[in-house]
């Protein structure tokens, strides 16, 4: 199989850009090489539009409307599948704080059951209610501060501020766990290893790499479902993150046969199905597949961001219903997966825990990579 990967909404470590609050990854998959098979047909589309390359943001609603039937024809002819993945950047700052400060391996004040069971996600949601935007900005600034003394001083202030807000939580157990955990972190900031130590480490905790984890899992899912191997994985070339993306894909390939043991009620960290084919970073001007995924990503992003989208372009979205995959890293996504479950099942049985394992798998693997990236 062939995969073509593009991203949109990139702001690097700046998570609080109101103009681009969500990072998107789009993946177009095909059983044949689009760069070879579809080049002739895409060349005709370019000629029709009078452009050297199909770039959706330059074409806009007006010109894209004129090629909808051409794109739909390509989808049917080559059985194109489009998957889209999102990372809410502000929420990523919160999740990153939690993963580092409440890691029971570093913070002994965190109860074992509060971290190594699905209760971790209940604790995360409780903690989220204590943050406001100003405090979250401070937490992220400390996280990416290369000066450890400054970062630790900020961490202490942040923990103490959160402690002062704990009484707003309705249940005594959450108040106790969060207070004890934050108190220990404030007293022992050097043991938390909160901030990154180099620019290289910083790349590992940006939304770009978190989103790329979803991309790799989506590719693995398609390969397993189709019983195929990856012939090529073409990623849009850009200087800042391609090296980190390659390292992540290599990490997954090496771990595909080594499931990692987790806590009770939590799934194994399973990388089976991960492609062994190295990713190829290619300029968008040199790949027909990247031109096509750019169009799909632009249309889906406009729709999800509730921006103006020509009615004719909805056929591209409709054409992927029940065909594409999607995933989202955000507090709302975690809440929708877990809040209702725990409200209905305050004391879940082993059987009910088993049913919830699949929901946890992606969240767990993201946490593992985030923590290891700063170890």
Q: What are the Cα distances from residue 31, in Å, to 4, 73, 77, 273?
A: 12, 16, 11, 17
pLDDT recorded at residue 265:
54
pLDDT recorded at residue 87:
94
1 close to 30: Cβ distance less than 8 angstroms: yes
Q: Can you give the pTM of this predicted structure? A: 0.87
277 close to 252: Cβ distance less than 8 angstroms: no
pLDDT recorded at residue 327:
87
Considering only CA atoms, which of 294, 269, 298 is closest in space to residue 283? 294
Q: Which residues contact 33 (CB under 8 A, 6 or more apart)?
A: 2, 231, 232
pLDDT recorded at residue 259:
61
CA–CA gap between residue 207 and residue 128 (Å, rounded): 18
What distance, in Å, lies between the first and last C-alpha atoms of the chain? Answer: 35
CA–CA gap between residue 33 and residue 54 (Å, rounded): 18
pLDDT recorded at residue 161:
98
pLDDT recorded at residue 374:
39
- Phi and psi, residue 275, nearest 5°: -70, 145
Spans of the chain below 70 pLDDT: 258-269, 337-375
pLDDT recorded at residue 271:
78
């Amino acid at each position: 199989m062939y995969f073509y990967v593009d991203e949109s909404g990139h702001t690097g470590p700046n998570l609080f850009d109101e103009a681009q609050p969500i990072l998107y990854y789009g993946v177009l998959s095909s059983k044949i090489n689009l760069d070879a098979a579809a080049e002739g047909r895409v060349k005709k589309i370019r000629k029709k539009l009078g452009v050297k390359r199909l770039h959706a943001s330059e074409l806009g609603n007006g010109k894209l409307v004129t090629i909808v039937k051409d794109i739909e024809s390509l989808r049917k002819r080559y059985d194109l599948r489009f998957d889209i993945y999102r990372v809410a950047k502000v929420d990523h700052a919160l999740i990153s704080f939690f993963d580092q400060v409440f890691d029971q391996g570093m913070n002994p004040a965190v109860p074992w059951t509060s971290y190594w069971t699905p209760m971790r996600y209940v604790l995360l949601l409780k903690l989220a209610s204590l943050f406001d935007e100003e405090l979250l900005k401070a937490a992220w600034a400390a996280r990416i501060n290369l000066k450890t003394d400054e970062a630790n001083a900020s961490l202490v202030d942040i923990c103490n501020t959160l402690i002062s807000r704990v009484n707003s939580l309705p249940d005594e157990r959450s108040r106790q766990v969060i207070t004890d955990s934050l108190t220990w972190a404030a007293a022992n900031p050097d043991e938390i290893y909160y901030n990154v130590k180099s620019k290289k480490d910083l790349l590992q905790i940006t939304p770009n790499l978190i989103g790329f984890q979803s991309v790799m899992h989506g590719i693995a899912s398609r390969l397993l479902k189709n019983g195929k191997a990856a012939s090529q994985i073409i990623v849009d070339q850009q200087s800042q993150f391609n090296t980190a993306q390659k390292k992540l894909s290599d990490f997954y390939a090496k771990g595909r046969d080594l499931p990692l043991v987790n806590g009770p009620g939590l799934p194994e960290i399973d990388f089976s199905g991960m492609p062994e084919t190295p990713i190829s970073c290619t300029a968008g001007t040199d790949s027909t597949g990247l031109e096509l995924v750019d169009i799909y990503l632009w249309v889906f992003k406009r729709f999800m961001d509730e921006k103006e989208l020509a009615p004719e372009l909805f056929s591209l979205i409709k054409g992927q219903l029940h065909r594409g995959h999607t995933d989202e890293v955000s507090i709302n996504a975690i809440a929708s997966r877990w809040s209702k479950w725990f409200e209905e099942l305050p004391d879940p049985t082993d059987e009910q825990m088993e049913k919830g394992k699949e929901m946890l798998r992606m969240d767990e693997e993201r946490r593992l990579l985030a923590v290891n990236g700063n170890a």
